[in-house]
Structure 1
Amino acid sequence: MRLNGKLAIVTAAASGMGRAGVERFVREGARVAAIDISREALDDLIAHFGADRVSTIVADLSTPEGAKGSIDEAVAVLGGADILWAHAGMPGPASVENLDLAAYDKAIALNVTSAALGAGQVAPHMRARGGGSIIFTASISGLVGSMMSPIYSAAKWGVVGLTKSLALAFAADNIRVNVVCPGLADTPMKAGFTGRSGDPAEAAANEAKIVGAVPMGRLVRPGEVADAALWLASDEASFVTGVALPVDGGFTAR
C-alpha cells in the first residue's frame, strides 16, 4: 500500500474529486481527516469508509478561522500530518464588469487564502515528522486564461505561483509542494462554470464547446484527479516538487 501508516488531510473532501481522494488515500493505507462545509456529506463519508479510517471536521474554509482551525483540529485528531491535499475552491464571478466584490473576495479567500493558510498551519507538523507532501488543486485555468471564469483563472494562477514558491521554501525540510490542474470535471461544481445563467441549453452548449477543445474528447473524471494526487502524495513522487500537473486530456498540450 502506497500510503501505509500515513496521516492525510483532505479539504473539500465530501464530494467530487475530494471524496475520490479520500477513497484512494484510505485504500492505500492512510488515516484521513476529511474537512468539508457539509455535515451531512461528511456523515456519508463515515458511513462508507468507517470512523476508524476517516475522521470528519466541519469548517468554512473561506474564513481564516475555518481554514486555520480545521487544520489544527485535523492534526490533533490524527496525531500529526504527512499529507495535505488542499482541494477547496469555487468558480467565483463570471465577469469583471459590475464586479460583485463580496463574491470576488469569497472566491479569492476559498481558492487562494485557504490554501496558503492551510500550508502554513500544517508545515511545522510535517517538519516535525521529517517531511511531507502538500498538494493544492488549481485548474487548467491556472495555466491558461479562461474567458468564462476570469476571477477563477486569476485565483488558480495564484495557487500555481504559491506552489512553486513554497516548493522552494520547504525543500530543505523534505516537504514537497505540488499542484494538480484538472480540466472541467464531471462533479457537482461543473454547473458553476457552464451554467451560471441557469439556462440548461446554455450549460449544454458551453460543456460541448469545452469538450470539443479537449483532444481526448471528454470531461475529466474525479477519480483521475484523485489518482494524480495519490501519486504526488506517495513516496513514488519523492523527488517531485514544484510541479503543476495537468489532468486535462491534452487541453494544455497545444
Structure 2
Amino acid sequence: MRLKGKLAIVTAAASGMGRAGVERFVREGARVAAIDISPTALDQLVADFGADKVVPIIADLSTPEGARSSIDQAVAALGGADILWAHAGMPGPASVENLDMAAYQKAIDLNVTSATLGAGQVAAHMRARGGGAIVFTSSISGLVGSMMSPIYSAAKWAVVGLTKSLSLALAADNIRVNVVCPGLADTPMKIGFTGRNGDPAEAAANEAKVVGAVPMGRLVKPGEVADAVLWLVSDEASFVTGVALPVDGGFTAR
C-alpha cells in the first residue's frame, strides 16, 4: 500500500476526478477527509468506501470561510494531514465581453483562492508531521490558452504559478507541491465547457473539436488523472516538486 497510514484531504471529492482520487487513496491505505458541496454525493461516497475510511465535510469552497474552515474540520477529524489534493474548480464565463463580475469572481474564488487558502491552512499541520504533499488541479488551459474559456485559463495559469512558488517556499519543510493539468475529461463538469449555451449539437461539435486535437484521440478518464495524483502524493515521487504534469494524451506536446 503506497499510502498506508496517511491522512489525506480531497476537495471536490464526491464526483468525477475527485471521487476517483478518494477511491485510490482509500485503496492504497489512506484515511480521507472528503470535502464537497453536495451532501447527497458525500453520503454516497461514505456508503461506497466506508465511514472508517472517509470523513465527509460539506463546504462551499467559493467562500473564504468555507475554504478555510473545511480544512480545519478535516485536520481535526483526521488528527493531522499528510496529503492535500486541492481539486475544486469551475469553468467560469465564456467571454470577457459584457463580463458578469459575480460569475467572474466566483470562478476566481473557486479555482484560485480556495487552493491558496487550502494550502495556507494545511501547511503548518504538514510541517508538524515532518512534511507532506500538496497537489493542485490546473488544466491544459493553464499551460496553453483556451479560446473557449479565457477566465478559466487565466485562473488555471495562476494555479500553476502558485505551485511553482509554493514548491520553493515549502521545500525546506519537506512539503512537496505539484499540479496536474488534465485535458477535457469525461466528467459531469464537461458540459460546462462544451455546452455553455445549452445546445446539445454545439456541445457535441465542441467536444469533437477537442478530441480531434488530442493525439491519442479521446478525452481523459477521471481515473487517469487520479492515478497521476496518487503517484505525485506517494513516496515514489519523493524528489518531485514544482512540476506541472499534463494528463492530456499529448495535447500540449506540440
Q: Does 1:167 align with 2:131?
A: no
Partner AA of 2:9 in structure 1: I
Alignment of structure 1 residues 1-254 onto 2, 5 Å? 1-254=1-254
Partner AA of 1:226 in structure 2: A
Once residues 55 and 197 of structure 1 are traced to their aligned partners in structure 2, the CA distance between those partners, rounded to angstroms, is 37
Deviation (angstroms), 1:138: 0.2
Once residues 216 and 3 of structure 2 are traced to their aligned partners in structure 1, the CA distance between those partners, rounded to angstroms, is 30
Deviation (angstroms), 1:92: 0.1
Percent identity between the two aligned chains = 88
Deviation (angstroms), 1:216: 0.1
Partner AA of 1:194 in structure 2: T
User: Root-mean-square deviation (CA), in Å?
Assistant: 0.2
Once residues 169 and 100 of structure 2 are traced to their aligned partners in structure 1, the CA distance between those partners, rounded to angstroms, is 35
Once residues 46 and 165 of structure 2 are traced to their aligned partners in structure 1, the CA distance between those partners, rounded to angstroms, is 35
Once residues 25 and 46 of structure 1 are traced to their aligned partners in structure 2, the CA distance between those partners, rounded to angstroms, is 14
Partner AA of 1:93 in structure 2: P
Deviation (angstroms), 1:172: 0.1
Once residues 230 and 75 of structure 1 are traced to their aligned partners in structure 2, the CA distance between those partners, rounded to angstroms, is 20
Q: How many correspondences in the alignment?
A: 254
Partner AA of 2:19 in structure 1: R
Unaligned 5+ residue runs, structure 1? none
Deviation string, structure 1 residues 102-152 (Cα, Å, up to 9, x no partner)? 000000000000000000000000000000000000000000000000000
> TM-score when scaled to structure 2?
1.00
Once residues 164 and 249 of structure 2 are traced to their aligned partners in structure 1, the CA distance between those partners, rounded to angstroms, is 23
Deviation string, structure 1 residues 12-48 (Cα, Å, up to 9, x no partner)? 0000000000000000000000000000000000110
Once residues 32 and 89 of structure 1 are traced to their aligned partners in structure 2, the CA distance between those partners, rounded to angstroms, is 19
Partner AA of 1:144 in structure 2: V
Deviation string, structure 1 residues 33-66 (Cα, Å, up to 9, x no partner)? 0000000000000110010000000000000000
> TM-score when scaled to structure 1?
1.00
Q: Secondary structure at the match of 1:179?
A: strand
Deviation (angstroms), 1:161: 0.1
Once residues 96 and 5 of structure 1 are traced to their aligned partners in structure 2, the CA distance between those partners, rounded to angstroms, is 46
Deviation (angstroms), 1:221: 0.0
Once residues 46 and 212 of structure 1 are traced to their aligned partners in structure 2, the CA distance between those partners, rounded to angstroms, is 38
Deviation (angstroms), 1:192: 0.2
Once residues 207 and 5 of structure 1 are traced to their aligned partners in structure 2, the CA distance between those partners, rounded to angstroms, is 40
Once residues 253 and 172 of structure 1 are traced to their aligned partners in structure 2, the CA distance between those partners, rounded to angstroms, is 32
Q: Extract structure 1 runs of 4+ deviating beyond 4 A.
A: none
Deviation (angstroms), 1:237: 0.3
Deviation (angstroms), 1:252: 0.1
Unaligned 5+ residue runs, structure 2? none
Q: Secondary structure at the match of 2:214?
A: coil
